[in-house]
Structure 1
């Protein structure tokens, strides 16, 4: 009787091992299918890569720095010319024509 019990347990263990292998295979196939769907979905969204994002970010920082430098230069020039940055310059220098 001991031999029969061991054989039943051995067959059951083999069956469970095979079932675990099949389950792992199904899991791998499901992961691959989901990964492929997500890659296709993200490809359709036309997302930028990290490198592209970093390049545009660096360009924006450089443009902002240049803008600040130009604004400072304009302020210095306006100060030298006596122009107030708060109010626009009027066109009173031009003669008016009488019709």
Structure 2
């Protein structure tokens, strides 16, 4: 009778050892997969999210500045056109001081 519990103990030990070995293999495979994915992502030259957000903010500010500059240029062109028009009117050219 004492042989029966020993067999179960041996089976439990073998099962526990196999479970530990499989767990270790699973962790090793997971680490290898993570390393391969990291390597593939590094080769793709992907940008991290925080870097992308910074560049997007810079682009937004540049676009706003460009629109403001375009408005300034349009206003200056209008003033130049008005000045040129006022210089070519007959009243301005007939005056000889």
TM over 0.5: yes
Structure-2 residue corresponding to 1:10: 9
> Which residue is 1:37 aligned to?
36
Partner of 1:65: 64
CA distance in 1, matches of 2:45, 2:33: 19
Q: Is 1:49 aligned with 2:51?
A: no
Give the structure with the larger helix fraction.
2
Q: How many residues align?
A: 81
Partner of 1:26: 25
Secondary structure (helix, strand or coil) at the match of 1:14 reads: helix
Which consecutive unaligned segments of at least 5 residues does structure 2 have? 83-97
| TM-score, reference length from structure 1 | 0.69
- Which aligned segments of 4 or more residues in structure 1 are displaced greater than 6 angstroms? none
**Greater C-alpha Rg:** 2
Which structure is higher in RCO with an 8 Å CA cutoff and minimum separation 6? 1
Which 5+ residue runs of structure 1 have no aligned equivalent?
A: 83-99
Distance 1:58 1:13 in 2: 61
